[in-house]
């Protein structure tokens, strides 16, 4: 019991949060940023809760467990302690597979969203929060390549999302193109009117139903459908004002068009308005958890809460009881929507926090997931398909959305695709009808596309298009606040804007005087909220002339328990938008004139620009962040958290530098502990697993026992927070010292021998902490790293050895984290280093 449920210290917190879904993770992150002590618990072995991304087996198990109620397990003899129950959020779960052997073979290569389909608009509130809180350092995004809408007779038409796309679209007549262009011009003039305001839409029209306004200005039904369902993303049938529960006003419709428009081109490396997080939507709550951990939020997975402590006099919440029997206390508690607040708890619950798609308290959302063997559209990997009301069947009153993702999003193996389907419904029967109709429609559409490209139609049709399928109905829960706050469930919207609004209201009910997330500035001038008074610097490797030879603290992160280690390893990868942190380039054109004819040729000269220049901000996208921070001014007694920041330096291998990870005092303490015990370093014999001397490693070093003193315990805890790998899964700290001319030849940190992999498991990652500065040399070099590093502004500062690949120059207090294993648990040969 002790191993499964470790004791938590301290026992009193400002806030306790149960569940690591996106709303809970946002509240915990915002509270931690505001200086509150936060304990964040989850009974599951993974982050994300009802917003998680799971393998097919894990998703099946989670849906099965969450489809039935779980009554309180606590005996309840003490009137001041009441058991905590959960309610079923899912029903009508149906899972089938036409190729179980294929799914079983690749099971761990899938990352299935429990709350799909979801995407982010490049200019929506979720992206602003990601940028402002610094969680972009832990995320990578992929653009949605195209959107399609179903028009007459099941035909899919590509949504024209730009002026050029409108004119090139062969499905639009000349009149329809002119109508669409005039409408977008009207909207643009309304958002940016002339001085006299004559071009603005009237106040009367702004309050009318959007569909009526579109008809009033003469738009035909096909154009209206494109605007309402594929750009404004309306859920309900907008043409039936009398019975639809969610009718968009013209004002709301224009606001959504403005969001779509502002999302186009916000980030240079996103081709459209929509983006999707690689490795699944579950990466979003996890990224906020990672960032909150830096802010001292305490995270514990596999930690069930069995009961609540209440005051016997007023019935108000006082604390929680864990499955281990430990009691913890806080003035405030946040629960994910699956928990039931006991009736014995007195609560001044105010009006529930409503979300647009949850106006009906009994509303549900039907969700489906399909694993397919081919894309819906040739040569398109990531796409969105909208089936407007009445396009699938006469009784269809809500839009059905289908999101396809390919292996480029790192959610499935190459050659396979994921389809996510969703539709708002009033009951399970309606939801299943809509899902089945949509699944049949995409199968017919894919077969038609396949047959058009392949003459041997019969041979192609015989193979199953859908390899695996899951459908289920999710209950929509509204957020509630009082003495105990309940967060909302994932809604039926395509993006997170309404969920962000609801979560912000809940946060302000907890802390009225604290900022949730500061308003994001323009993409080119986003500031870090850690320190609002510091100078702007570029997030790249700094240029420095260092001091003496480096002392390196080498912390290998291994798998003490292989199965649990792998499960923890996948969510801990550091991902970033864009494949590599390469330097920006400028293109100059040269005009050449030849004697016999006047020909103009454009020759492109790619000039490398220093990405680390601090003279001015770089173009702000999700791969290059300009943040405010101050120079190191902390004293020797500790670190100033506002000066710490992480910087992704490579994707292959996955490597990140955490600046000012250790204080000067900590560096000196570690050197002092290690100096009396230094001896010649050894290597591992791949045949026996034993230590042996080798010419490839000429440094001296020693190991420090885990938890040797309070300072080492703090450092080990900090490493665990940074990597999301528990302390018990790591090896003890090793201090290394390199004299002039000493080296460690390029090598891998992962094991190739059976002895070590059986005794402790495979090494997943390494954290190098530099304990001293250097004047020259001493770099950590990755010769197999992918990328062009010679154009970096620090190139001339490197030694000859340092110019053999990706190099990191030592700086006292900095930490370098790199992964020896890929997210799929295969060994990464690009992690070769020396």
Chain segment 531-563, per-residue pLDDT in tens: 332 222 222 212 222 233 334 444 444 332 222
Sheet holding 645-650, edge to edge: 645-650, 655-659, 815-819, 765-770, 551-557, 733-737, 700-704, 679-680
pLDDT tier at 635, thresholds 50, 70, 90: very low
How far is it, in rounded angstroms, from Cα 192 to Cα 204? Answer: 19
The whole-number pLDDT of residue 813 equals 92
List, in sequence order, every residue forming a beta bridge with 644; answer none if it has no partner.
none
The whole-number pLDDT of residue 57 equals 94
Percent of the chain clearing pLDDT 70 (strictly above): 75
Map tokens 């960032």 to a residue.
291
Contact by Cβ (8 Å): 470, 113: no
The whole-number pLDDT of residue 540 equals 22
pLDDT tier at 349, thresholds 50, 70, 90: very low
How far is it, in rounded angstroms, from Cα 94 to Cα 68? Answer: 14
Max Cα distance, the chain (Å): 101
Identify which of 410-424, 447-461, 584-598, 643-657 has the greatest average pLDDT: 410-424
- Choices 3.40.50.12780, 2.60.120.620, 2.70.98.40, 2.60.120.200: CATH for 551-574+645-831: 2.60.120.620
CATH 2.60.120.620 range(s) for the chain read 551-574+645-831
Mean pLDDT value across residues 133-140: 86
CATH 1.10.405.10 range(s) for the chain read 162-263
- Asked which of 278-282, 552-556, 610-614, 662-666 is least confident by mean pLDDT, the reply is 610-614
Percent of the chain clearing pLDDT 90 (strictly above): 38
pLDDT tier at 142, thresholds 50, 70, 90: very high
Average pLDDT across the chain, whole number: 78
The whole-number pLDDT of residue 96 equals 94
The whole-number pLDDT of residue 520 equals 38
pLDDT tier at 365, thresholds 50, 70, 90: very high
The whole-number pLDDT of residue 468 equals 96
DSSP assignment letter at 68: S
The whole-number pLDDT of residue 545 equals 28
Residue 442 makes CB contacts below 8 A (sequence gap 6+) with 370, 376, 385, 402, 419
Got the DSSP string for 294-332?
A: HTT-EEESS--EEEEEE-TTT--EEEEEETTS-EEE-SE
pLDDT tier at 264, thresholds 50, 70, 90: confident
How far is it, in rounded angstroms, from Cα 181 to Cα 230? Answer: 16
Residue 174 has pLDDT above 60, yes or no: yes
pLDDT tier at 355, thresholds 50, 70, 90: low
Contact by Cβ (8 Å): 572, 767: no
pLDDT tier at 197, thresholds 50, 70, 90: low
Residue, of 672 and 152, whose pLDDT is higher: 672
DSSP β-ladder status, 484-486 and 38-41: unpaired
Q: Which helix (H) or strand (E) holds 291?
A: helix 283-294
- Choices 3.90.550.10, 3.60.9.10, 1.10.405.10, 3.40.190.10: CATH for 162-263: 1.10.405.10
């Amino acid at each position: 019991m002790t191993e499964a449920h470790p004791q938590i210290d301290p026992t009193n917190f400002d806030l306790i949060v149960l569940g690591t879904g996106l709303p809970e993770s946002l509240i915990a992150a915002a509270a931690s940023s505001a200086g509150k002590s936060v304990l964040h618990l989850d009974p599951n072995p993974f982050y994300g809760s009802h917003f998680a991304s799971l393998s097919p087996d894990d998703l099946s198990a989670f849906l099965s467990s969450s489809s039935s109620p779980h009554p309180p397990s606590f005996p309840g003899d003490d009137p001041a302690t009441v058991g905590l129950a959960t309610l079923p959020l899912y029903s009508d779960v149906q899972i089938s597979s036409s190729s179980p052997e294929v799914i079983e073979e690749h099971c761990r290569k899938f990352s299935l969203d429990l709350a799909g389909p979801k995407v982010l608009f490049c200019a929506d509130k979720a992206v602003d929060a990601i940028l402002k809180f610094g969680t972009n350092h832990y995320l990578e995004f992929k653009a949605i390549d195209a959107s399609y809408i179903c028009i007459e007779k099941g035909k899919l038409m590509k949504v024209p999302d730009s002026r050029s796309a409108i004119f090139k679209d062969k499905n639009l007549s000349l009149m329809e193109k002119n109508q669409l262009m005039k409408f977008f011009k009207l909207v643009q003039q309304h958002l940016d009117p002339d001085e006299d305001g004559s071009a603005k839409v009237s106040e009367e029209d702004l309050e009318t139903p959007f569909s009526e306004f579109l008809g009033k200005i003469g738009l035909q039904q096909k154009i209206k459908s494109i605007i309402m369902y594929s750009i404004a993303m309306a859920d309900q049938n907008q043409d039936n004002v009398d019975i639809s529960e969610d009718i968009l006003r013209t004002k709301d419709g224009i606001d959504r068009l403005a969001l779509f428009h502002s999302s186009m081109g916000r980030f240079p490396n996103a081709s459209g308005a929509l983006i999707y997080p690689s490795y699944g939507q579950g990466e979003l709550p996890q990224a906020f958890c990672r960032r909150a951990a830096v802010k001292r939020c305490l995270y514990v997975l596999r930690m069930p809460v069995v009961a609540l402590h209440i005051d016997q006099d007023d019935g108000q919440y006082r604390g929680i009881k864990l499955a281990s029997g430990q009691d913890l206390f806080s003035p405030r508690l946040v629960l994910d929507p699956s928990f039931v607040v006991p009736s014995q708890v007195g609560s001044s619950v105010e009006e529930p926090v409503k979300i647009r798609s949850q106006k009906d308290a009994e509303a549900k959302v039907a969700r489906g997931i399909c694993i397919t063997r081919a894309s819906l559209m040739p040569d398109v990997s990531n796409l969105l398909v909208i089936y407007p009301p009445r396009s699938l069947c006469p009784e269809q009153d809500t839009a059905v959305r289908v999101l396809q993702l390919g292996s480029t999003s790192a959610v499935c193996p190459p050659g396979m695709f994921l389809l996510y389907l969703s539709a708002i419904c009033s009951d399970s029967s309606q939801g299943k009808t809509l899902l089945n109709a949509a699944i049949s429609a995409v199968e017919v559409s894919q077969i038609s596309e396949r047959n058009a490209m392949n003459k041997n139609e019969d041979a192609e049709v015989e193979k199953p298009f859908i390899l695996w399928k899951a459908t289920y109905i999710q209950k929509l829960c509204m957020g509630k606040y009082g003495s105990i706050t309940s967060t909302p469930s994932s809604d039926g919207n395509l993006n997170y804007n309404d969920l962000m609004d609801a979560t912000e209201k809940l946060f302000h009910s907890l802390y009225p005087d604290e900022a949730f997330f500061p308003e994001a500035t323009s993409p080119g001038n986003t500031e870090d909220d850690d320190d609002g008074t510091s100078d702007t610097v570029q997030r790249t490797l700094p240029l420095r002339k260092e001091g003496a030879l480096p002392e390196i603290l080498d912390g290998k992160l291994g798998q003490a328990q292989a199965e649990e280690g792998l499960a923890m390893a996948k969510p801990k990868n550091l991902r970033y938008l864009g494949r590599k942190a390469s330097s920006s380039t400028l293109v100059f054109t040269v005009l050449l004139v030849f004697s016999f004819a006047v020909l103009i040729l454009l020759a492109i000269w790619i000039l490398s620009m220093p990405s680390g220049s601090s003279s001015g901000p770089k173009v702000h996208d999700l791969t290059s962040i300009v943040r405010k921070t101050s120079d190191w001014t902390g004293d020797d007694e500790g670190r100033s958290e506002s000066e710490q920041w992480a910087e992704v330096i490579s994707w292959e291998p996955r490597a990140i530098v955490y600046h000012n990870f250790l204080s000067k005092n900590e560096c000196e303490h570690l050197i002092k502990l290690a100096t009396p015990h230094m001896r010649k370093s050894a290597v591992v014999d791949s045949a026996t697993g034993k230590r042996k001397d080798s010419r490839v490693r000429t440094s001296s070093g020693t190991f420090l026992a885990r938890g040797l003193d309070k300072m080492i315990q703090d450092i080990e805890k900090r490493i665990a927070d940074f990597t999301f790998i528990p302390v018990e899964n790591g090896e003890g700290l090793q201090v290394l010292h390199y004299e002039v001319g000493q080296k460690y030849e390029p090598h891998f940190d992962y094991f190739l021998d059976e002895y070590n992999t059986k005794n402790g498991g495979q090494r997943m990652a390494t954290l190098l902490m530099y304990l001293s500065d250097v004047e020259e040399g001493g770099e950590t070099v990755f010769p197999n790293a992918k990328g062009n590093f010679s154009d970096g502004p620090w190139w001339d500062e490197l030694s000859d050895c340092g110019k053999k690949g990706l190099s990191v120059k030592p700086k006292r207090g900095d930490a370098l984290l790199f992964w020896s294993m890929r997210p799929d648990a295969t060994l990464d040969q690009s992690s070769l280093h020396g």
